Amino acid sequence: MKVFHTVSGLRDDLNKDRLKGLRIGFVPTMGNLHGGHLALIKQARETNDIVVCSIFVNALQFGLNEDWDKYPRTYQGDCDKLRDAGCDYLFHPDDIEMYPNGLDTQSRVICPTMTDVLCGASRPGHFEGVTTVVSKLFNIVQPDEAIFGIKDYQQLAVIRRMAEDLCMPIQISSAPIHREPDGLAMSSRNSYITAEERPLVIVLKDSLAWIAEEIKAGNRDFVGLEGTAKSRIIEAGFKIDYVTICNSKTLDQAADDDLEITILGAMFTESARLIDNLSISL
C-alpha cells in the first residue's frame, strides 16, 4: 500500500492509473477503522481496479462542543488494517494540506435540503462540513466510485444529492450496516461506551426494529410509534436525540401512503452519541 500526505503526490500516481484505463474506487474515512470500514474497502476491491482510502479528521464538521480533539486517532493500526484489506493507496493529509487558506475562509459546499433535520438539527453546520470536505476529496481523488456505509443514512442521502446537483461523474454506492455480535452498529465512537452501558445500548436497534414490525403489521400511527420507542430508550437510561419515521428518499416525515420508509434514531450515552436506522419496503 502506498501512503500519500500531499494532494500532488496522490494525483501523480492516480493519473498514471487513469492513463492505463484502471477504474478507481474511493472510501473516505476519519480513521480509527473497524470492521465496517474494512467491509467498504472489500466492496470497493470487488468493483474497482484501484482502491483509495482517505483518513482525515475533518474539523469543519465538528461543532464547538463536540469531540474533534478527543476523536480517536489510530493511524499506525489503521495502516495495518488497510494493508491486510487490500487497499492500494492511503491519502492521509494534515489540516494545512486540506485547508491551505484556513477554515475561516474556506469555500463551502452547501446542500439546502435534508441537512437541517435529524442529525443536522442537533449538529448545526455538520453537513456543511461533510459536503465541503467530501467534495474536496472527490476533486482530489476523482474516483469512478465512492462507497459509504448506510449507518450514516442521512450523510449518504446528502452526498448523493450533492453529487447529483453538481453533476459529479461519480457512482455513489452504499454498503450495509456492519454490526457487533449483539447487533450494535459498529462505530468509531463505540469505544466511548462505558462497561455499564454496553449491555443496554442495543435498545436503540431493538426500538427501531419494533417500529418496523408494527408498520409492516399495518400500524400507521407514526407519531405514537415514535413516542413509544423514545420511552423505551429513556427507560433504558439514555437521552433521546431523535426517533423519526421518514420517507426513504426525501427524509421528510413519512406519509401514510409512503411505500419506502426509513426509521432513524439517535441517542446519547454518558460519553457517546449513537445512531442507527432501518429501511423497509411496503
Interhelix angle 126-141/7-19, nearest 10 degrees? 50
Give the C-alpha separation, 85 to 56, whole Å: 19
Burial class (CB in 10 A: 0-12, 13-18, 19+), 195: exposed
DSSP label of 81: H
Q: Look at the block and give the residue holding cell 473497524.
A: 34
151, three cell numbers: 449507518
Long-range pairs, 156-164, Cβ under 8 A, ≥24: 157/114, 157/249, 157/251, 158/111, 158/114, 158/115, 158/127, 158/130, 158/131, 159/130, 159/131, 159/134, 161/111, 161/113, 161/114, 162/109, 162/111, 162/131, 162/134, 162/135, 163/138
Of 265, 271, 266, 270, the closest CA to residue 279 belongs to 265
Closest CA to 249 of 263, 236, 261, 237: 261
Please indicate whether residue 37 is annotated as part of the active site.
yes
Place of cell 439517535: 266
Distance, CA of 170 to CA of 168 (rounded, Å): 5
Catalytic residue (choose from 37, 92, 126, 178): 37
Active site residues: 37
